[in-house]
Structure 1
Amino acid sequence: MENRRLGITSGFAAYVMWGLLGVFWELLSVVPAMDTLAYRIVWSLVTISVVLTIQKNWIEVWHTVVTLINNHKIGWIILSAFLISINWYLYINMVTHQQATEASLSYYIMPLMNVAVAVIFLHEKLSRSKIIALILVIIGVIILTVQTGSLPFNTLLMAASFCFYGLIKKQVPLPATISLTLETVTVTPIALIYLLLSPHVMNQDGIKITLLLIMSGILTVIPLLLFAVANKNTDFITLSFIQYLNPTIQLLMAVFVLHEAFNWHKVIVFAFIWSGILVFIFGSLSNYQKLKKTTTL
């Protein structure tokens, strides 16, 4: 019970932080998105290294690597590192190009994508309410595709990358600091090579931007550590409910802080997505109540 409470609390904190971070990345819009991603990765490794040094956990990191190699699971960690990097890049690129509402849309879609993944990979049964919810979301995506003239590839890829990232974290449960260390170590060499070749210099846009780039590591590590704790101590469905905090806060920030246009076309798309979410929530709560009654009999 104590672990579940810790998981839920950590999940709330992580998703609230992620919801608010859109405004932070907007402040870095003068920096190319790929450079911002590279700086984010490098400073994340610096931040997590400080944490590990304080915790004196470097030996545990090494032992974990050896265990993962012996168990043939190191490939999953490498894959998760690239998935989260793809997610980071897409989000930074969309927010800094006045597409924060589209970014929030991807996180609304993601929980229902989790359902599809659970059916395909975890062989869970698909209830009637989940089928209806998925259909409503698909209709919303189709409308968005017709309105824009192209499939919202970035929105769907962003949702899919984090969905499969969460799935891998479930399959290879590791302590939060260890998991994040291995992921950042995997992609940091690529980030460093990119920064060495990039014409952008970290301090070229002034002290404020330089400090924000350094802070990006801290603001990346904290919610990811919280998510790792939540993912380890909370069931998949509960975490899917909590995650709605993230896109809701993102959407509010996009409209009221970043002043993005929210026209009637987007209202229609979001109406279908939100309808799917409501069906999904009520269906899940109904199943939970039935299960509760069965276990108490």
Structure 2
Amino acid sequence: MEKRRLGITSGLAAYTLWGLLGVFWELLSVVPALDTLAYRIVFSLLTICIVLTVQRDWKTIWWTTKQLIKNRKIFWIILSSYLISINWFIYIYMVTHHEATEASLGYYIMPLMNVVIALMFLHEKLSRSKAIALLLVIVGVVILTIQTGSLPLNTLLMAASFCLYGLIKKQVQLPATISLTLETIFVAPVAIVYLLISPHVMTQDGLGVTTLLIFSGIITVIPLLLFAVATKNTDFITLGFIQYLNPTIQLLMAIFVMNESFSWHKAVVFVFIWLGILVFILGNMHGLQRVKRTK
């Protein structure tokens, strides 16, 4: 019971922090999105290096890397590092360009897009509830496309990049600390080279912005470590419910803190998305109860 309580508390903390991060990135809107991403990667690596040094886990990193090379799985870790970087970049770009509501929409769509990924790559069967949920989401995206005159590519790309990232993580399972270390190591050289050639200087926008850029590493690592504790101490179904806390907080922050407009067509889109999520959750609950009855 204590472990489950720890897991739920850690999960709530992780998803709450992720939900609040939109405000953090909006404070960095004066910095180009690519530069913010590069600083985030570099300072995340520095932060995780400190964590590993305190935990004395460098031998584990070395041993894990050798095993990944031996098993020819290192390529998947490299690919996952660039997928999560793409996800980070799109999210930062959207928030700093006053598209936080569209970003939250992406995180609502994400769990249902996981169903599509599972169908395409894992050959899982599509249940009736999942089919209805997907149909509702598709209707919502079509309405948004018609009303705005363009397909919400950033929203869909953000969701798709994280779904593919999750697929790789499922195939190559590593502890969160080890995984984050390797992923940041593989993208850090690109980030450092970019910062060296970028015309933007970290200190040019004042002490406040410089401090936020430095802390971008810490606010990236802490939720991931909390999430690692949550996954070890609670079940996947519970985390599945908790994960909707993230986009809900993002949406509320966008409307009430960032003062983004929430037009009627966005409201209609979110109604369809929420209906899809409700059908998805009820379907999962029904499936879980049926499994329990057969035991």
Which interval holds the TM-score relative to the shorter structure? over 0.9
1:7–1:273 Cα change, 3 Å: same
Does residue 126 of the first structure (1) align with residue 126 of the second (2)? yes
1:218 is matched with 218
What amino acid maps onto 1:168 in structure 2? I
2:290 is matched with 290
Distance 1:50 1:261 in 2: 41
Identity %: 74
| Cα drift, residue 214 of structure 1 | 0.3
CA deviation profile, 1:102-123 (whole Å, cap 9, x unmatched): 0000000001011122222223
The CA RMSD over aligned residues, in Å, is: 1.6
With 120-129 and 99-108 compared, the bigger mean Cα shift is at 120-129
Distance 1:195 1:26 in 2: 20
Secondary structure at the counterpart of residue 241 of structure 1: helix
Distance 1:4 1:115 in 2: 27
1:37 is matched with 37
Distance 2:236 2:229 in 1: 13
With 160-169 and 206-215 compared, the bigger mean Cα shift is at 160-169
2:190 is matched with 190
Alignment of 1:1-297 (within 5 A): 7-231=7-231, 237-295=237-295
TM-score calculated relative to the size of structure 1: 0.95
Secondary structure at the counterpart of residue 200 of structure 1: coil
With 163-172 and 213-222 compared, the bigger mean Cα shift is at 163-172
With 230-239 and 74-83 compared, the bigger mean Cα shift is at 230-239
Secondary structure at the counterpart of residue 271 of structure 1: helix
Count of residues in correspondence between the two structures: 295
Distance 1:57 1:51 in 2: 9
1:40–1:11 Cα change, 3 Å: same
TM-score calculated relative to the size of structure 2: 0.95
What amino acid maps onto 1:212 in structure 2? L
CA deviation profile, 1:22-65 (whole Å, cap 9, x unmatched): 00111101100100000000000000000011111111101110
Distance 1:24 1:168 in 2: 28
What amino acid maps onto 1:194 in structure 2? Y
Distance 2:237 2:110 in 1: 12
| Cα drift, residue 150 of structure 1 | 1.1
| Cα drift, residue 257 of structure 1 | 0.5
Distance 1:234 1:71 in 2: 30
Distance 2:153 2:237 in 1: 26
Distance 1:233 1:171 in 2: 21
Structure 1: runs of 5 or more not aligned: none
CA deviation profile, 1:126-173 (whole Å, cap 9, x unmatched): 111110000000010111111111111100010011112122222111
Distance 2:27 2:177 in 1: 28
CA deviation profile, 1:73-101 (whole Å, cap 9, x unmatched): 10111011001100110111000111000
What amino acid maps onto 2:64 in structure 1? T
Distance 2:162 2:112 in 1: 12
Distance 1:273 1:43 in 2: 35
With 221-230 and 44-53 compared, the bigger mean Cα shift is at 221-230
Distance 2:257 2:76 in 1: 38
Question: Is the contact made by 1:176 and 1:229 (CA closer than 8 Å) also made in structure 2?
Answer: no
What amino acid maps onto 2:213 in structure 1? L
CA deviation profile, 1:233-287 (whole Å, cap 9, x unmatched): 6665543322111100000000011010001010111111111011111111111
Distance 2:105 2:127 in 1: 24
1:74–1:5 Cα change, 3 Å: farther
Distance 1:11 1:96 in 2: 26
